[in-house]
Structure 1
Amino acid sequence: MLVTMNDHELQRFAIIQDVLNNKLKRRDATPILGLSYRHLSRMLKAFKELGVQSLAHGNRGKPSSNRISDDIKLHVLRLITERYLDFGPTLVHEKLTEVHGINLSLETLRQWMIADGLWVPHSKRKPRIIRR
């Protein structure tokens, strides 16, 4: 299994390898890692059992538990394209809340509209050139 690691985890990996290869003592490794002796022992045990995966957080690569489902997202985007195509995110948010009873954050709605090409942020709009 492929595990992506950040710099902090790579540093931990190198130090744990040194401890396992007897190049570094556990009590010398604890201040370097900023861990207690007991926690380092737990990490070494997990590293021996699971390998490099034990250094990465267990929730890495999993979707968020409070994520809005794709069905709701598609339903909302269909409503916008059918009824509220000319509206901005704020007005669409108001209409979805009042008329349809769908409560989403304004920023989530704005991001969905940008990703679907229904809204162009002000910073990405073409400047209006006024000739005199």
Structure 2
Amino acid sequence: MVIRYRASGAAGLCSGRRDRPGNRKLDEVVAVRALTIIRGRYADFGPTLACEKRHECHGITLSKETMCHLMTEVFDVESSYD
């Protein structure tokens, strides 16, 4: 850190990854595809079973926590329109 501070000043103390997309960001295409499958075939399933079926039948691998988050987010938005 001292070397970076001497070379770049206070700006050298910031992370070099700043203002770049993180590796944890879910690809929008994958999320939309997974949710389309869930709505069409597995709307009455819970996140765990939907996750297993989606992986088994469609080859999309997402964690059950990610699917739970996506399903909650989408279904909450849809129910607010009712």
Q: Would you call these one fold, judging by a TM-score over 0.5? A: yes
The one of the two structures with greater contact order (alpha-carbon pairs below 8 A, sep at least 6) is 2
* Aligned position for 1:90: 48
The answer to whether the aligner puts 1:57 opposite 2:15 as a matched pair is: yes
Alpha-carbon RMSD across the aligned residues, in angstroms, is 2.0
- Where does structure 1 differ by over 4 angstroms across 4 or more consecutive aligned residues? none
Contact 2:54–2:60 (Cα < 8 Å) also in 1 = yes
Structure number with bigger Rg: 1
1:103 aligns with 2:80: no
What pairs with 1:24-103 in structure 2 (closer than 5 Å)? 39-47=1-9, 52-65=10-23, 67-103=25-61
Q: TM-score if structure 2 supplies the norm length?
A: 0.75
1:44/1:87 CA distance change after superposition, 3 Å: same
User: Could you give the per-residue CA deviations for residues 86-115 of structure 1, whole angstroms, max 9, x where no partner exists?
Assistant: 111011011101111111111111111122
Aligned-residue sequence identity (percent) comes to 34
* TM-score, length of structure 1 as denominator length: 0.50
Alignment gaps of 5+ in structure 2 = 77-82
Can you list the C-alpha shifts for 1:46-67, whole angstroms capped at 9, x where unaligned?
11xxxx4322111123222354
Between the two proteins, the alignment pairs up a number of residues equal to 76
Distance 1:94 1:71 in 2: 19
CA contact (8 A) 2:5 2:11 kept: no
